Structure 1
Amino acid sequence: MMYSALATMLLIYLTSQSNAMETSTYTTKYDGIDLDEILNNERLLNGYVNCLMDLGPCTADGKELKKNIPDAIENDCKKCTDRQRDGSDRVMHYLIDHRPDDWVKLEKKYNSDGSYKMKYLSSKPTEGNSVTNVTKSEEDTKNDSKE
């Protein structure tokens, strides 16, 4: 009887730990980093790219990013906070649009199937396909009705 009670308690503990691990998030310690400063500063951005590519030293936040990228990609950023998810999308979109050579290197290392870029490009409006919200002015409407 005591053995089955112990086994039940152990099972409950392991289940709760498993659930806690699934719902935990990455550290928010670096969430205050100014992404605009990094994206608008070639030296800083090159430093992060070099860190991620094992071509240079890493800052503390760069090490954390490098450690979490494989898991975040594999699990569709399940452990990311909303701020981290928005920030990572913003940075990746910037790299795809403005630094394609860096994106290709990073993609080859961290997302070799190209699924993230495909997802981004398929959701991005194209020039001929963009949705515009044009409202006629009162004057245009009056002129149309006179014709």
Structure 2
Amino acid sequence: MIPTLILVLACIHAAVLEEQYVIPDNIDVDEILKNDRLLKNYANCVLEKGSCTPEGERLKKAIPEALQNECAKCNDDVRQKARKIIHQIIEKHPDLWKQLEAKYDPNGDYKKKYKELIEKEGLQI
């Protein structure tokens, strides 16, 4: 299972439908990753530095639960896209990664919890 940290720090949009986190069809993860303005807007939402779209607001509300329960409500699509996004953010936006870590894992508890999975993904954080 991809760690919940990936979901959270990737800044993907999620909606809670039928007790699962999903990425709505109208959200193009690749487009967000290619567009610094869009990525910044979504990051500002989850970092509480800016306004949120309805999807961003749902993500922001889901983050604490997702971190606690290892993203038990994530489907395979979310896990696959989250993996892609987290790699992109770490490689291309390390400052954003640090901000997200500071907000959602200030004591490093989740980093420790998901250490094995982070290493398996080959992430250098």
State TM-score, norm by structure 1. 0.60
125 and 108 in structure 1: CA distance in 2 versus 1, 3 angstrom threshold: closer
Letter in 1 for 2:99: K
49 and 29 in structure 1: CA distance in 2 versus 1, 3 angstrom threshold: closer
Inter-partner Cα distance in structure 1 for 2:121 and 2:83: 12
Letter in 2 for 1:122: E
Inter-partner Cα distance in structure 2 for 1:49 and 1:29: 16
Aligned to 2:12: none
* Greater mean alpha carbon deviation, residues 111-120 or residues 29-38: 111-120
Aligned to 2:63: 69
Does the 8 Å CA contact 1:25/1:81 hold for their aligned counterparts? yes
State TM-score, norm by structure 2. 0.70
1:29-108 aligned within 5 A: 30-108=24-102
Query: Alignment partner of 2:62: what SS?
Result: helix
Bigger helix fraction: 1
Letter in 2 for 1:24: E
CA displacement at 1:68 relative to structure 2: 1.0
80 and 31 in structure 1: CA distance in 2 versus 1, 3 angstrom threshold: farther
Inter-partner Cα distance in structure 1 for 2:57 and 2:113: 22
Aligned to 2:120: 123
Q: Which structure is higher in RCO with an 8 Å CA cutoff and minimum separation 6?
A: 2
Aligned length: 103
Inter-partner Cα distance in structure 2 for 1:103 and 1:120: 17
CA displacement at 1:124 relative to structure 2: 3.9
